[in-house]
Amino acid sequence: MNVIEIKGLTKIYKTSEVIVKAVNGIDINFEEGEFTAIVGPSGSGKTTFLNMLGGLDKPTSGKVIISGIDVWKLSSRQLIDFRMNNIGFVFQSYNLIPVLTAGENVEFIMHLQGKPKKEREKRTKDLLEAVGIGNRINARPSKLSGGQQQRVAVARALASKPEFILADEPTANLDSKATNSLLELMSQMNKKYNTTFIFATHDQRVMDKAHRIVTIEDGKILSDEYFERD
């Protein structure tokens, strides 16, 4: 079943000097349980595409339909709630709220969702253990390594039980050891919870793990390939 349907998605940036077609008429669908990499050189439109898909950046034209809902028809308040309940985000860096501990960062989103305290606490503990940070639950982000921070970000993204997780270059600031273990973690989570993961990346190690690689260039899809992995 298609979780995400994208039709004619276009984003045009107009600056005083130039008009940039950052995303130029993309049609694509994503299914439940996908583990997909959006790849392409820097400036090809990956971030713009992901941001429109995630309800962060308004398309110039085109549609993003998630579980039957035309996302960009929602009011701005509805859209924030929609993101909270349906989409998990992992950004390149500085994902976490600095004044909250690892545990609080994970719990925070469930708090926003209005989940009861007991459930929040249990799920926070479970998720942090699952991502291997169980013993750092009370550490502030500044006391965690970059890799650990990204793991907490994954735990937070999973905490709201989203339809899918969008990760924009999640490994860009990590060394190869941290990259491997983060990838391992995400693929585990993908299998365990059947949560869809969509990455933007130009990291070969990420591509090697992906089940589907969508290549874009100049805001257009160049290729869309599927791979069998282990």
Ligand X SMILES: Nc1ncnc2c1ncn2[C@@H]1O[C@H](COP(=O)(O)OP(=O)(O)O)[C@@H](O)[C@H]1O
Binding stretches for another protein (CB under 8 A): 47, 51, 54, 56-57, 76-77, 80-81, 83-85, 89, 91, 94-100, 104, 107-109, 111-113, 156, 160
Least Cα distance to 49 among 224, 204, 168, 197 occurs for 168
Report the residue number, 34 or 107, with the smaller CB distance to another protein: 107
Residues 17-76 that bind ligand X (CB under 6 A): 20, 22, 40, 42-48
In this structure, how many other beta carbons lie within 10 angstroms of the beta carbon of residue 61? 12
- The whole-angstrom separation of Cα 151 and Cα 142 is 14
Report the residue number, 3 or 200, with the smaller CB distance to ligand X: 200
- The whole-angstrom separation of Cα 101 and Cα 69 is 34
Q: Which does 20 bind (CB under 5 to 8 A by kind): another protein, Mg ion, ligand X, none?
A: ligand X
Least Cα distance to 103 among 84, 122, 116, 88 occurs for 122
Interface with ligand X includes 222 (CB under 6 A)? no
Report the residue number, 58 or 73, with the smaller CB distance to another protein: 58
- The whole-angstrom separation of Cα 84 and Cα 190 is 19
Q: Which residues pair with 214 in a beta bridge?
A: 38, 224
> Smallest distance, Å, CB 223 to another protein?
27
Interface contacts to ligand X, rule CB under 6 A: 13, 15, 20, 22, 40, 42-48
